[in-house]
Amino acid sequence: MRKKSKYNVAVVGVGAVGIEMLKVLRSRNFPVGTLKVLARSDRDITVDGQVYHVAAISPEAFDGIDIALFAGTEGEKGAAVTYASEAVKRGAVVIDNGADFRMEKDVPLVVPEVNPKDVKKAKKGRGIISNPNCSTIQMVVALAPIHALYKIKRVIVSTYQAASGAGSKAVTELFDQTRSILAGVESKSEALPQRIAFNVFPHIGGFAECDFTSEEWKMVKETHKIMHTDKIMVSATTVRVPVKIGHSESIYLETKKPIDIAEVKKALGASAGIVVVDDAKGCVYPLPIDSEGKDEVFVGRIRKDLYNEKGMWIWVVADNLRKGAATNAVQIAELLAKK
């Protein structure tokens, strides 16, 4: 893609992530020339007081587009599969938030704070760059500075993922179930596999190999691809919790070298995209309600394993719709613009 002062951008999809992409493009002052918003049908939408016309998607809609941001829906074979190649044919670079292309060899999987140079592979490949899964993104942002210091051998992660990670219908279900239960009326679960109000359940995605879910396998395979190594042993348990926005993760990691916690905190604090929130005496640590609407990854509860000089714990929180999806995609677009 030729360097320009402004870029013609298409945002494909106007669900929760698509709406957030429009917000992030504005808040980060991305140099947009022409902006097209595409979905299945024509209509107007209002986002933060700004009216956008949504045009019906077609191959011709990508004519003249430099960067196409596909909002994507986990597990759905939708617009990205149908239209990504059409966008590339017409000269666009596609940044896809869905799961369709993530593990394909000729499609880079990029977190700008971790592997920014991989955007170059889009030219040699298919002109498509994939956004990783939301839970993977925030984890690798936190792991990368530690890996640079000590080389990580093993990661054991338990996630506490917000309802919005399953889409807007899941958020509606959380609110509806909460109101029903408070009124003494039991409600059904339709958008999620179990009741979400006043409950947690360890089931995100379908159950797959070795009884790990597809979400858990994503964290394994995507981490290996992003960090360019399959030597890190990653094991995950992904849990849905009754939170609207903001994924939290409890991460245990073991390194090849003994860990100096002061050095870890210094490295994390100096790393792009990370905010350290770690004051045990003051009971200050990252919370999902504090991450909402923000682009950074928040890290706290940083402490050593009591029994292993090469082991430690961290607690990681991020807005799953922003850094876990929309912001990461726009950051990739920023890398393309810079290069």
What 3 state SS string does 266-303 have? HHHHCCCCEEECCECCCCECCCHHHHCCCCCEEEEEEE
Residue type, 165: G
pLDDT of residue 266: 98
CA dihedral 278, 272, 291, 234 (to 10 degrees): -80
Composition of the chain by helix, strand, coil, percent to 5:
35, 25, 40
CB-based contact 97:40 (threshold 8 Å):
no
pLDDT of residue 186: 86
The pair phi, psi for residue 107, each rounded to 5°, is: -125, 115
What would the mean pLDDT of 7-33 be, rounded to a whole number? Answer: 96
Query: CB 280: neighbour CB atoms within 10 A?
Result: 11
What would the mean pLDDT of 61-86 be, rounded to a whole number? Answer: 82
Identify whether residues 36 and 181 lie together within a single domain: no
CATH number, residue 293:
3.30.360.10
Structural domain contains residue 2? no
What would the mean pLDDT of 152-173 be, rounded to a whole number? Answer: 97
Identify whether residues 175 and 257 lie together within a single domain: yes
pLDDT, one tens digit per residue, over 110-149 is: 999 999 999 999 877 899 999 999 999 999 999 999 999 9
Lowest mean pLDDT among 80-89, 149-158, 161-170, 282-291: 80-89
CB-based contact 218:99 (threshold 8 Å):
yes
Q: How many distinct structural domains can be found in the chain?
A: 2
Structural domain contains residue 1? no
pLDDT band (50, 70, 90) for residue 71? very high
Q: Which domain holds residue 81?
A: 7-132+325-338
What would the mean pLDDT of 168-173 be, rounded to a whole number? Answer: 96
Mean per-residue pLDDT over the chain, rounded: 95
The residues that are catalytic are 134, 247
Identify whether residues 98 and 232 lie together within a single domain: no
Identify whether residues 218 and 164 lie together within a single domain: yes
pLDDT of residue 72: 80
What would the mean pLDDT of 216-238 be, rounded to a whole number? Answer: 98
At residue 79, the 3 state secondary structure works out as helix
Residue 320 CA to residue 247 CA, distance in Å, equals 6
pLDDT, one tens digit per residue, over 89-114 is: 999 999 999 999 999 999 999 999 99
pLDDT, one tens digit per residue, over 250-279 is: 999 999 999 999 999 999 999 999 999 999
pLDDT of residue 73: 57
For the record, the structure tokens of 24 come out as 């992030």
Identify whether residues 140 and 105 lie together within a single domain: no
Identify whether residues 148 and 92 lie together within a single domain: no
* Phi-psi map region of 325: left, alpha, beta (phi>0 left; psi -120 to 50 alpha): alpha
Query: CB 59: neighbour CB atoms within 10 A?
Result: 13
Of 335, 337, 332, 329, the C-alpha closest to 72 is: 329
With 50 as the cut, is the pLDDT of residue 76 above it? no
CATH number, residue 15:
3.40.50.720
Report which secondary-structure segment, H or E, holds 41: none
